[in-house]
Amino acid sequence: MKIAICGAGTVGTGVAQILHDNADLIKLRGGEAIEIAVVASRRPPSEGPLADLEFTSDLISVCGRSDVDVVVELMGGTTDAKHLIETSLRAGKSVVTANKALIAEHGDDLFEIAAKHDVSLKFEASVAGSIPIIKVLQESLAGARIGWIAGIINGTANFILTEMASEGVSRSFDTVLAEAQALGYAEADPTFDIDGTDAAHKLAILGALAFDQPLRFDQVHIEGIAEIDPSDFKFAKAFGYRIKHLGVARSSGESLEMAVYPCLVSTAAMLSGIDGVLNGVLVSSEAAGETFCCGAGAGAGPTGNAVVADLIDLQRQGLRPGSDAPRRTDESLKMLRPEETEAGFYLRITVEDRPGVMSGITTVLADFGISLDKIMQEDAANHRATIALVTDSIVQGVVEQAVAKLEQHDAVLGKIQKIRVF
């Protein structure tokens, strides 16, 4: 099988390295060798496993080449990459991509073009690097009715939260972000990792597959991690939780909820133990119970490994569309707005330290029908105190109303922190 590698960056180089290092295994397991016929990118690679191969800066030219069976799109972005993939599929070439933004935002159109031209569009590498979660949903759990899926699907955000929670000197979000950048775990512009957009792209893909729905990136509720304060980790720990940034897709069978947000996760839960740049995805289904996958979520090797696995799948299925092409039911699930969903909530409230304040706070919460699971108060300097609490499960819209009311309370100082409990 001959491929074109489009995009000579981190993942493109990783794929070429694996194809070179594991050529014997790949030939044995896939039935034939995988050769790189051409590398297409903006600039020719000057070193590494792509350097001595045929190069072109004319991306679209690879689509018409008779010596290219599969186009591997590893450039990123949603403009040139989309044009390249559409042209490749229309030319009868199967495509493998790692591009989550493109699949999440335009995947439905691309899958339609692939089906029309009887070719495959494979995207295992687009979610959670080396973790084979697309295969788990499309193959291993193909017969299971999924109730929910929850994942730590952005390694940069997980690294920052892990470091902020570590013992010793508490460090602010900005300090830890600067450390992550220095270590190469966060990009120069980490906006999409921090604000939740990257995780939302991946969740849109997982949610569509888990519930046989169209891709709905624009309907994923997105919250990032920039508002988490070092004190939140301390209170979370005292209550028996860790703070993780999760992507959650949940369906009742009639409605669908898809959101990425920071969450308090019980220290007893599997997801709470996924630290640093690792990713972890938990899928709950009636038939299989809880299926947990974890591993490296990014990087040249892990992401390249997922791309190569897709290529071997294509070899095995003779380049024809596999049984794993995404399916869509005719019944579109109603999307729940965040305020319609239910959870327990952690609140951190800074108050004036004077008699009666604690009972004033709990009275307001009781007026909204909110009962408490845990509560503690910590006195600070300057006649201030912090009340931290965890509510029982309640509709988010009700908590938001209660928080708005509490923020008007004469003893409450500043904005109240609100974080979901998973």
Ligand X SMILES: NC(=O)c1ccc[n+]([C@@H]2O[C@H](COP(=O)([O-])OP(=O)(O)OC[C@H]3O[C@@H](n4cnc5c(N)ncnc54)[C@H](OP(=O)(O)O)[C@@H]3O)[C@@H](O)[C@H]2O)c1
**In the bound complex, what is the minimum distance in angstroms from residue 421's beta carbon to ligand X?**
29
Sheet holding 70-73, edge to edge: 55-56, 35-40, 2-6, 70-73, 94-97, 121-122
Q: Give CA separation, 228 vs 194, 236, 263, 327, 420, in Å.
A: 11, 11, 10, 38, 12
Which helix (H) or strand (E) is 294 found in, with range?
A: strand 289-296
- Please pick, among 82, 202, 334, 415, the residue that the annotation labels catalytic: 202
Non-local (6+) Cβ contacts of 218 within 8 A are: none
CB nearer to ligand X: give 37 or 256. 37
Planar angle of CA 150, 154, 159, nearest 5 degrees: 115
Query: Binding of ligand X at residue 59 (CB under 6 A)?
Result: yes
Task: Decide if residue 299 touches ligand X (CB under 6 A).
Answer: yes
99 binds ligand X (CB under 6 A): yes
Any idea how long the chain is?
Answer: 422
Among 158, 162, 213, 303, binds ligand X (CB under 6 A): 303
Write out 316-341 in H/E/C secondary structure.
HCCCCCCCCCCCCCCCCCEECCHHHC
Chosen residue from 5, 7, 185, 350 binding ligand X by CB under 6 A: 7
CB of 73 to ligand X, least distance (A): 8
Cα–Cα distance measured from residue 86 to residue 111, given in angstroms and rounded to the nearest whole number: 10
Give the CB-nearest residue to ligand X: 9
Q: Give me the 371-400 binding string for ligand X, x by CB under 6 A, dash otherwise.
A: ------------------------------
Exactly one of 1, 37, 98, 161 binds ligand X (CB under 6 A); that residue is: 98
- The stretch among 30-38, 48-56, 97-105, 205-213 that binds ligand X (CB under 6 A) is 97-105
The full DSSP string for 82-146 is HHHHHHHHHTT-EEEE--HHHHHHHHHHHHHHHHHTT--EE-GGGSSTT--HHHIIIIITTT--E
Q: In this chain, which stretch among 5-13, 314-322, 335-343, 368-376 interacts with ligand X, using CB under 6 A? A: 5-13
Q: How far is the CB of 8 from ligand X (least distance, A)?
A: 4
Report DSSP state, residue 150: E
Span 114-133, contacts to ligand X by CB under 6 A: 125, 129
Of positions 298, 349, 389, 416, contacts ligand X by CB under 6 A? 298
Q: Please, which residue, 153 or 164, has the CB nearer to ligand X?
A: 153
Helical spans, DSSP H, in 139-294: 155-165, 173-182, 191-194, 197-211, 230-239
Is residue 10 involved in binding ligand X (CB under 6 A)?
Answer: yes
Phi, psi of 316 (to 5 degrees): -65, -35
Site size for ligand X (CB under 6 A): 23
Our answer to whether residue 374 is catalytic in this structure is no
* Min CB(106)–ligand X separation in Å: 13
Q: Among residues 1, 5, 8, 210, which is the contact residue for ligand X, using CB under 6 A?
A: 8
How far is residue 347's CA from residue 350's CA, in Å, rounded to a whole number? 10
Figure out which of the listed residues 20, 27, 29, 42 binds ligand X, where binding follows CB under 6 A.
42
Q: Copy the structure tokens of residue 221.
A: 């509720």
Structural tokens at position 238 = 């005292």
301 near ligand X, judged by CB under 6 A: no
What stretches of 332-383 adopt beta strand conformation (E)? 334-335, 342-352, 372-379
Select from 51, 80, 362, 373 the one that contacts ligand X (CB under 6 A): 80
If the CB atoms of residues 183 and 366 are measured against ligand X, the closer one turns out to be 183
Give the residue numbers annotated as catalytic, written as ranges. 202
Which residues contribute to the site for ligand X (CB under 6 A)? 7-12, 41-43, 59, 74-77, 80, 98-100, 125, 129, 298-299, 303
